[in-house]
Amino acid sequence: MDFTNIEGYTDIQHSLDALYSKKNIDFSSSAISNGLLDELKKAGFVDIFNSDADIHPLNLLSLIFKQAGYQGINLDLYSFFIDIPLIYKASDKSNHDFLRDHLSLNSLITSAFREPYQHVEEGLQTRGVKESNGYTITGNKYFIENFHQAKLLILSFQTNEGIKLALIDKNRISYQEQITTTGLMVSQITFEEFHISQECILHIDSPLDLINEIDLSQKLIRSMFIEGVSKRMMEMTAKYTAERKQFDRPIATFQAVSHRASSMFIDHECLSLVNQQALFSLINNKPEKENHVLAAKAWSADVSHRSSYSAQHLHGGMGVSKEYDLWKYCLLAKEHEIMHDSAAVCITNLGKNITLNQ
Amino acid sequence: MQIELNKKQANLKIEIREYLQDLLTHELLKELQNPSYFEGGGPEFRKALLRMGNDGWIGLSWPKSLGGKEFSPIEQYIFVEEIMRTGFPFPFLTTESVGPMIANYGSDFAKENIAKRILTGELIFAIGYSEPNAGTDLASLTTRADKSPKGWMINGQKIWTSLANFADYVWLAARTNQGAKKHKGISMFIVPTDDPGFSCHPIHTLGDVRTNTTHYDNIEISDDFLVGEIDEGWSLITSQLNLERLALVNHGPVEELYLNLLLQAKETQLQNGMRLANVPWVQDAFAKIYYKLEALKLICWKQVWSQGNNNFSMTDASVAKVYGSEYFIEAYRMMMEIFGELSLFKSNQELTILNGKLERMYRTASILTFGGGTNEVQKDIIAMAGLFLPRSN
């Protein structure tokens, strides 16, 4: 048994911290428009899929996102770093050598996988009807990252023959912009009898397995992000309560305050451990990987919620003032708590898995 | 025993609801969507307040001798509930808390020129209690009022002075006796915000609600602006805070949100033909929101019923404040879980839930756990006054 894994990569952590802690990063702007993706590329983090690297890509991604969470960076690169590389890995590369252009930032690709009410629906609701040379698509996709900067879009849809993924030219699609609770802009697309030619379909052996792998990876990396957010909220709270005096003493010396801060610490420890277990299971393709990831996302959603409100409460008015950085962490915590399934959904799905002996 | 509103109270509820429907014009609702006017202060808000004053809907708790309606605590609660359901930022602290104190304890000048104008909807107050180093330990405040040839000279700084950016006056706690024990040397003043020595700077918050730091630089006011006895302001502060606590956790707004979301869940048909409201875990979540909401409503009702029987309990006020403020956070979370990622979108967008109302309310929820007396202090009060436990250090 060895728990040193992620914590062993201190050089990488320091390098990421230096990159993220630059003062000119606008909280609500995309990581592409504020130059962060370029910086990550310059520092070598975009080459994580190089097979010669001595760290597993998921391990490195965990660090990239966890440290972003710790530094309060709104890193909208989940599609960039997770969806597109996993699709490439699973697809017939001879036909679609798109990853190289994507990672060179010359021809960015984004993905349209999320759908409204996906948390209570089984399977994909975007449908593709087969025609002589392709499919006609009807459905609704949202939370599409960096759509306006992408050149291509990968779309998932359900057909009578199973799930299909298509690579399509972004310019063919009209979209709407939506602003999320963190102030980030994402896009929404409504497909109404939208035609896709057969040439656009990606050749993938098992699209359902791929979609599941993407979903598990998204959940895990978002949980890692939350781990960074909750760690920072805990540290800010510890510092503030140790310094803030009321009744002529630091408020941390009141037992009610120190106990609530201690609960944040316990929460963070639990989250860190279930995250590490989920990462280990996913990297090693363990049979329990789905349950471990669901447990990690359920924990991270709970910790997001509890740490955010504990931190705000123990800071008093400072906790909600935009003159102090905690507010950014609270918004990031809520967005990641709900994205890719809340605790309620993860626990429900975990319950189904357990009772079905998965 | 009658655990429901009586006929007169139920009719009052309908009367208020109908009145408010008429009051909330399209222009006013549009103005209230503007973040600059979330807390009121805009021209349409001012117009509506004047109309309420003219129609006799201000000063409900005031004695009839002072021009009020002398509503019972239950009737006042119903009024607060109905107005909070609409989202109209009615200035309760001015009308139902500061106003009656000025009418009771103010100078003849203040009674005539300030209290009466509160009743007509002309004046709004901000509350000037907290300071950078005096929050939970409010009695350690250092803003001072020193005797001057014309009356009093005010100097100091306040923080979290909500509404100060458009208020006409600040209801200010200032130290008038530097040698007395900290609870003993505080007095209450009415400070005009148009004095050149007054300045106000915004603090923008997570919930998009603006609050302020306010500075008082050699503001000289006459004795007419002192309320109550010199050095005896603490009791006015604590009685005002006790009244405020119940209004903070009125069950109306969250019940309104719950009912609207339940309706939306019933109407939302999923692709598999099932309604969102029929998903088992969603039903479970709605049930949790409901049964805890019932407890909040009953806590509030019992408290106003007790007040009506001259049996106000500080413990009950603290129970309501702790339970209500923590419930709001839990309820908003469950509501967001039900609607999932859609609940993350802000207002004025196609896919948003209730035009972003839920998204905004979750961001404002934490303020109540520490505002109006932090919950740890309320639990100390419950332990001492409810359980008769030894006082904590």
The domain that contains B26 carries what CATH number?
Answer: 1.10.540.10
Nearest neighbour of A179 by CB, restricted to B268, B342, B346 = B346
- What's the rounded mean pLDDT across residues B291-309? 94
Domain boundary among B204, B232, B260: B232
CATH code of the domain in which A146 resides: 2.40.110.10
What per-residue confidence (pLDDT) applies to B348? Answer: 76
> B358 and B269, same structural domain?
yes
What per-residue confidence (pLDDT) applies to B321? Answer: 94
Residue A282 domain-assigned (yes or no): yes
Domain boundary among A88, A104, A125: A88
Residue of A113, A114, A119 to mutate for B, most B C-beta atoms under 10 A: A119
Give the mean pLDDT of chain B: 94
What is the torsional sign of CA B298, B304, B306, B311? Answer: positive
Residue A1 domain-assigned (yes or no): no
Distance CA A216, CA A289 (A): 8
> Per residue in B152-188, pLDDT tens?
999 999 999 999 999 999 999 999 999 999 899 999 9
Highest mean pLDDT among A105-114, A166-175, A223-232, B301-310: A223-232
CB-CB contact of B330 with B257 (8 Å): no
Beta bridge partners of B155: B144
Interface confidence (ipTM) of the complex: 0.95
The DSSP 8-state label assigned to residue A325 in this structure reads T
Residue B194 domain-assigned (yes or no): yes
List all residues 6 or more positions away from A92 whose beta carbon is below 8 Å from its beta carbon.
Answer: A202, A203, A204
> B267 and B156, same structural domain?
no
What per-residue confidence (pLDDT) applies to B230? Answer: 96
pTM of the model as a whole: 0.95
> B263 and B369, same structural domain?
yes
Question: Across the interface, do A313 and B370 touch by the CB < 8 Å criterion?
Answer: yes
Indicate whether B63 pLDDT > 90. no
Residue B281 domain-assigned (yes or no): yes
> B370 and B293, same structural domain?
yes
Environment class of A309 (CB within 10 Å of its CB; exposed 0-12, middle 13-18, buried 19+): buried
Cα of B53 to nearest chain A Cα, Å:
33
> A348 and A252, same structural domain?
yes
> B369 and B323, same structural domain?
yes
Which residue segment(s) compose the domain that B175 sits in? 126-232
Question: Across the interface, do A142 and B340 touch by the CB < 8 Å criterion?
Answer: no
Among candidate residues B244, B256, B330, B376, the one labeled active-site is B244
Domain boundary among B202, B232, B262: B232
> A217 and A193, same structural domain?
no
Residue of B272, B333, B343, B359 to mutate for A, most A C-beta atoms under 10 A: B333
Which chain A residues are within 8 Å of B362, Cβ to Cβ?
A: 334
Helices (H), A244-288: 255-283
Which residue segment(s) compose the domain that A176 sits in? 90-204
Beta bridge partners of A154: A111, A167
Residue A118 domain-assigned (yes or no): yes
CB-CB contact of A134 with A200 (8 Å): yes
Size of interface A-B (CB pairs under 8 A): 134
Residue B243 domain-assigned (yes or no): no
> Per residue in B251-276, pLDDT tens?
999 999 999 999 999 999 998 899 99
| Long-range Cβ pairs for the range B20-28 (8 Å, 24+) | B20/B82, B20/B83, B20/B86, B20/B88, B23/B48, B23/B51, B23/B52, B23/B88, B24/B48, B24/B86, B24/B88, B28/B88
> A170 and A306, same structural domain?
no
Indicate whether A286 pLDDT > 60. yes
Cα of B26 to nearest chain A Cα, Å:
25
pLDDT-derived band of residue B238, with 50, 70 and 90 as boundaries? confident
Which chain B residues are within 8 Å of A121, Cβ to Cβ?
A: 270-272
What per-residue confidence (pLDDT) applies to A95? Answer: 60
Question: Is B244 a known active-site residue?
Answer: yes
Nearest neighbour of B344 by CB, restricted to A176, A180, A341 = A180
> A274 and A237, same structural domain?
yes
% chain A with pLDDT above 90: 83
> A48 and A176, same structural domain?
no
Question: Across the interface, do B137 and A322 touch by the CB < 8 Å criterion?
Answer: no
- What's the rounded mean pLDDT across residues B68-82? 92
pLDDT-derived band of residue A5, with 50, 70 and 90 as boundaries? low
> Per residue in A245-280, pLDDT tens?
999 999 999 999 999 999 999 999 999 999 999 999
Question: Across the interface, do B340 and A345 touch by the CB < 8 Å criterion?
Answer: yes
> A199 and A110, same structural domain?
yes
- State the total domains in chain B: 3
- State the total domains in chain A: 3
Residue B189 domain-assigned (yes or no): yes
Distances (CA, A) of B362 to A64, B325, B349: 29, 12, 18
> Which two three-digit tokens encode residue A213?
């792998």
